[in-house]
Amino acid sequence: MSLIHALVAQGSTILAEHQGGVRDFSQATQTILSKIPPNNSKLTYVWEQYLFHYISEGGYVYLVMADDSAGRRMPFTFLSELQQKFVNSAQPSSSTAEQPAYYLQGTFGPVIAQLMNTYNTSPPTDEITRAQSELAQVKDIMVQNVEQILSRGERIELLVDKTDNMASQATAFRRGARTVRRSMWWKNTRILMLSVFVGLILIWVLAAQFCGAGLNQCGAKSGN
């Protein structure tokens, strides 16, 4: 357990306490109480591997002994709630009147025990921890969103690459089409010229059969 021993005292007089462990820390707590100044203060004492956290206010001391693994925030949150419960329910009408030892043990001792059990089993989330948790959640969402944006960016880049490739292919196709058209035009032109030349040759061959190779016989016959 994190919280081991808690009490409410008036000066060095213990009014109510609860000890969760087997070991008796009465001597240690009395020593700590005797060292706490009468003015309002908030401090932590170290003893062996344990920490004694306390809040002193209005003549009353709210003290809790905890493992060092509990840190400081959770024990002081416990003390603040213990102080609030004490002020609201168990504080005597006159804070200056001296009360006998364990005067409130029967009425407020169970309250300390219940509060200690709550903090040892499922401590409430204080504001700092809640803010840190919310900040961590926001960070996770931001990281996730950034990852999604990056993933979308990659897809956009791939799409741009594909678009560029398609544009390049279209340009190459247009160039190839022009080249093919030019090639076909020259081919058709050559065929046409060859056809004209072959036609002229055929005409000349037919004419040569009747007029001679030099076509001079036809001219002589027409003169006779």
Report yes or no on 39 lying in a domain. Answer: yes
Report yes or no on 191 lying in a domain. Answer: no
CA distance 18 to 25: 11
Domain boundaries, position 7: 3-124
| CATH classification of the domain holding 18 | 3.30.450.50
CA distance 142 to 161: 28
Domain count, the chain: 1
pLDDT of residue 143: 57
Report yes or no on 91 lying in a domain. Answer: yes
Full-model pTM: 0.56
Residue 119: is its pLDDT beyond 50? yes
pLDDT of residue 72: 86
Give me 39's structure tokens: 């003015």
Report yes or no on 98 lying in a domain. Answer: yes
pLDDT of residue 192: 85
More confident residue, 81 or 185: 81
pLDDT of residue 79: 94
Report yes or no on 214 lying in a domain. Answer: no
Report yes or no on 84 lying in a domain. Answer: yes
* Range ranked top by mean pLDDT from 60-64, 148-152, 180-184, 190-194: 60-64
Query: What is the mean pLDDT of the segment spanning 27-56?
Result: 89
Report yes or no on 45 lying in a domain. Answer: yes
Residues 67-118: tens digit of each pLDDT:
888 888 889 999 999 999 999 985 554 455 678 999 999 999 999 999 999 9
Dump the DSSP string for the chain: --EEEEEEEETTEEEEEEE-SSS--HHHHHHHHHHS-SS-EEEEEEETTEEEEEEEETTEEEEEEEEGGGTTHHHHHHHHHHHHHIIIII--S-TTS---TTTTHHHHHHHHHHHHHHHHHSPPP-HHHHHHHHHHHHHHHHHHHHHHHHHHHHHHHHHHHHHHHHHHHHHHHHHHHHHHHHHHHHHHHHHHHHHHHHHHHHHHHHHHHHH-TTSHHHHHHHH-
Confidence band for 207, pLDDT divided at 50, 70 and 90 = confident
pLDDT of residue 161: 56
Query: What is the mean pLDDT of the segment spanning 163-181?
Result: 69
pLDDT of residue 126: 62
